[in-house]
Amino acid sequence: MTVIALAAGGTAGHIEPAIACAKAIKNLNNLVEVFIVGTDKGLERNLVPQRGLELSLIPATPLPRNFSLTMITLPFRMLAAQRIAQKLLVDRKVDCVIGFGAYVSLPVYLAARKLKIPIVIHEGNKKAGLANRIGSRFAAQVFQMFPDSIKGAQTVGMPLRAEISNLDKILMRTTARQNFNLDENKQTLLVFGGSQGASSINRVLVDCLPEFEKLNIQVLHAIGNKNTMDQSTKRFGFYHAFSYIDKMELAYAAADLVISRAGAMTIAEQTVLAMPAIYVPFAAGNGEQTKNVAQLVKDGGGILIPDAELTAALLVQRVSELIQNPSKLQELSQAASGHGLRDADKKVAQSALTLANAHK
Contact between 160 and 345 under an 8 Å Cβ cutoff? The reply is yes
Residue 228: predicted pLDDT: 77
Same domain flag for 11 and 48:
yes
Q: Domain check: are 98 and 180 in the same one? A: no
Residue 169 main-chain phi, psi, to 5 deg: -60, -45
pLDDT at 68 over 70: no
Q: What is the pLDDT of residues 174-203, one digit of tens each?
A: 999 999 999 999 999 999 986 666 889 999
Shared domain check, 22 and 109 = yes
User: In this structure, what CATH number is given to the domain that contains residue 57?
Assistant: 3.40.50.2000
pLDDT of residue 65: 59
Alpha helices, DSSP H only, in 115-168? 130-135, 162-165
- List the Cα angle 230/223/210 in 5-degree steps: 50
CA dist 344 to 24, 122, 230, Å? 10, 10, 39
Which tens digit of pLDDT belongs to each residue from 83-112?
999 999 999 999 999 999 988 999 999 999
Do 48 and 180 share a structural domain?
Answer: no
Q: How many CA atoms lie within 13 A of 184 on its CB side?
A: 8
pLDDT in tens, 13-55: 889 999 999 999 999 999 999 999 999 888 899 999 999 999 9
| Boundaries of domain holding 35 | 3-160+342-359
Residues 21 and 98 in one domain: yes
Both 101 and 227 in a single domain?
no
Which pTM was predicted?
A: 0.92
Please provide residue 253's backbone torsions phi and psi, each rounded to the nearest 5 degrees: -65, -30
Arithmetic mean of pLDDT, 270-289: 91
Does residue 232 sit in the same domain as residue 99? no
The answer to whether the beta carbons of residues 152 and 121 sit under 8 Å apart is no
State the Cα–Cα distance between residues 55 and 63, nearest whole angstrom: 22
Q: How far apart are CA 1 and CA 359, in angstroms?
A: 12
How many domains does the chain divide into?
2
Residues 259 and 276 in one domain: yes
Clarify whether residues 185 and 315 are in a common domain: yes
Helices (H), the chain: 12-28, 44-50, 70-91, 105-114, 130-135, 162-165, 169-179, 199-214, 248-254, 264-272, 288-298, 312-323, 326-337, 344-359
| Residues 94 and 189 grouped into a single domain | no
Q: What count of other Cβ atoms lies within 10 Å of the Cβ of residue 306?
A: 11
What is the pLDDT, as a whole number, of residue 166? Answer: 95
